[in-house]
Amino acid sequence: MSKTIENVLLVPGESGWEIWSNNGEGGFTLQSATETVDAGELTDIPSGELTLFFAVKSLTAVPMKVASDDDALFPDLAALHAERLGLRPDPMAGQLTDVFVIEREPENTALLAVFLRTPSDAELPPRGPKGFDISLRAFPVTGNTLAVWKEFGRWVFGVFHQGKPVYCQTTASDSFHPDESVAREIRLALIQLAMQGLSVEPSQIVIWTSKEGINPEALRSAFTAPVEISARPAPVMPSPLSKLLPADVRAARKAAQQKRNIVLIASAAALVYFGLIGWFVYGIWQTNSQANRIIAEAEEAAPDAEAYTAHIAKWEELADIIQLKNNPVDILKRVADCIPPNSGLRLKSADISATEIKLQGEATQLPPVNTFSLKLTKNNELANFQWETPPPNSSTRGWDFVFSGEVPVQETQP
């Protein structure tokens, strides 16, 4: 009979980290509520598969609507949206972004993108977690709910649409009650969501707290929805778990240093290898017995030389993958920079590889299409592509176009 693997959750609490573990019935039981704010100082974490839920203060929530229902495009669209907002996660710090679907409509999807701040060593526990997620997704709710609770001494809030997270934010208030400043920040957030086409009218407001005597009057005065005070529910394991996977900066640097050391050792070994070959060849002119010995040693080393040659060939084959300029997301960013701002031109699909690009799009007016075509052919960062930009076709919605680019194949001389 296989042994059940215990799951352990690290969840931000009212004043410090909380440690939860399986209760044997599919749920989780609170093991300890610490006063420790830095996860790196936690001790006595139970054994088992560890999952860390990042606090709301550790991330930036960016709700958005995209004109696509293709899940494969969501990460790239979120990345482009983040670039416009000036959010640039450190690519060397692991997977710091993820996208969650709020609501789907034909060719129109509401998304919540989260962007983690690069965690320091003190913000990660001593034992490396198996998985990561955000505290907003740890607590189940139903309907259109506004949840307010405390994390590490400050009030935070989360907005949910039909039980799915839409937005979250840490407030500046550390008062005992959720006061007028908390209500004001929530109102501003809801107005901002409405301006983005993500109008959420809470049908209920819940204040999660373990303290007695909490006064909800500020929230009752600011909103028409009923306000309920209750203990925060036990956390659940989101399914599927987020794709967030921050790298330990210290471990990443150590791994990078080890990789550099391996490259240096391999290079030195290659120099020594070819130096020995040269010395052996020189020995041929010294004595016939030395020549026989050199031939025997060269035959013995032949498999290593073949392996080295094969390695170089494979490395050249991977050039299209390992070079940043051939990355499809990087190419998509260069193409997106060619779209005239505020022109109404949009791409319906973009098939991109290191050697081929096919773009299908539309615009309400013809000039933006011509401008986009000209920018593609004149863009220095896309100069290696040979473009085919046939005239656009008029449609009921304006103008449709299909542009393609291809890197010419260089013919080798016989």
Q: What is the CATH number of the domain that holds 195?
A: 3.30.420.40
**pLDDT number for residue 304:** 61
On whether residue 380 sits in a domain, the answer given is: yes
Least confident piece of the model among 73-82, 250-259, 328-337? 250-259
Bridge partners (DSSP) of residue 403 are: 359
First-last CA distance in the chain:
66
Same domain, 101 and 219: yes
The domain of 366 spans 324-406
**pLDDT number for residue 253:** 45
10 contact partners, CB below 8 Å, separation of at least 6: 17, 18, 19, 39, 42, 45, 50, 51, 52, 53, 125, 129
Same domain, 157 and 202: yes
Averaged pLDDT, 171-186:
95
Same domain, 105 and 143: yes
Helix axes 288-317 and 249-284, enclosed angle (nearest 10): 150
- Contact indicator for 18, 149 with CB cutoff of 8 Å: no
Burial (Cβ within 10 Å: 0-12, 13-18, ≥19) of residue 214: middle
Same domain, 369 and 392: yes
333 contact partners, CB below 8 Å, separation of at least 6: 80, 83
| CA–CA separation, 80 and 85 (whole Å) | 9
107 contact partners, CB below 8 Å, separation of at least 6: 67, 68, 69
Is the model's pLDDT at 62 over the cut of 60?
yes
Bridge partners (DSSP) of residue 113 are: 62, 99
Place of tokens 């290191």: 354
Confidence of residue 290 (pLDDT cuts 50, 70, 90): low
Confidence of residue 397 (pLDDT cuts 50, 70, 90): confident
**pLDDT number for residue 128:** 86
Higher pLDDT residue, 312 or 218?
218
Same domain, 153 and 270: no
Domain boundary among 317, 333, 354: 317
On whether residue 21 sits in a domain, the answer given is: no
**Helix, strand, coil percentages in the chain from 3-state DSSP, rounded to 5:** 35, 30, 35
Bridge partners (DSSP) of residue 168 are: 158
Higher pLDDT residue, 376 or 292?
376
Domain boundary among 291, 317, 343: 317
On whether residue 379 sits in a domain, the answer given is: yes
Domain boundary among 189, 207, 234: 234
| CA–CA separation, 62 and 237 (whole Å) | 23
Is the model's pLDDT at 184 over the cut of 90?
yes
Averaged pLDDT, 17-37:
89
Averaged pLDDT, 87-98:
83
Per-residue pLDDT reduced to its tens digit, 322-370: 566 777 888 888 999 999 998 889 998 989 888 899 999 999 999 999 9
**pLDDT number for residue 409:** 80
- Contact indicator for 155, 174 with CB cutoff of 8 Å: yes
The CATH number of residue 382's host domain is 3.30.1360.100
Same domain, 72 and 94: yes
Same domain, 300 and 336: no
Same domain, 156 and 228: yes
On whether residue 25 sits in a domain, the answer given is: no
Is the model's pLDDT at 392 over the cut of 90?
yes
**pLDDT number for residue 139:** 94
On whether residue 350 sits in a domain, the answer given is: yes
Torsion of the alpha carbons at 151, 152, 153 and 158, rounded to the nearest 10: -20
Domain count, the chain: 3
**pLDDT number for residue 138:** 95
pTM for the model: 0.60
Is the model's pLDDT at 1 over the cut of 60?
no
Q: Is 111 helix (H, G, I), strand (E, B) or coil?
A: strand
Same domain, 276 and 343: no
**pLDDT number for residue 246:** 84
Least confident piece of the model among 7-11, 87-91, 213-217, 349-353? 87-91
Is the model's pLDDT at 162 over the cut of 60?
yes
Is the model's pLDDT at 310 over the cut of 70?
no
Same domain, 65 and 205: yes
> Residue type for 28, please?
F
Same domain, 139 and 202: yes
Residue spans of beta strands (DSSP E) within 85-226: 94-95, 97-105, 108-116, 131-134, 145-151, 154-161, 164-170, 204-208
On whether residue 121 sits in a domain, the answer given is: no
**pLDDT number for residue 307:** 63
Burial (Cβ within 10 Å: 0-12, 13-18, ≥19) of residue 327: middle
For residue 342, CA distances in Å to 66, 85, 355, 363 come to 16, 16, 29, 11
41 contact partners, CB below 8 Å, separation of at least 6: 122
Confidence of residue 250 (pLDDT cuts 50, 70, 90): very low
On whether residue 159 sits in a domain, the answer given is: yes
**pLDDT number for residue 317:** 59
Strand pairing class (97-105; 145-151): unpaired
On whether residue 33 sits in a domain, the answer given is: no
Is the model's pLDDT at 222 over the cut of 60?
yes
Residue whose C-alpha is closest to residue 243's, from 73, 95, 113: 95
Radius of gyration of the chain (CA): 29
Same domain, 311 and 335: no
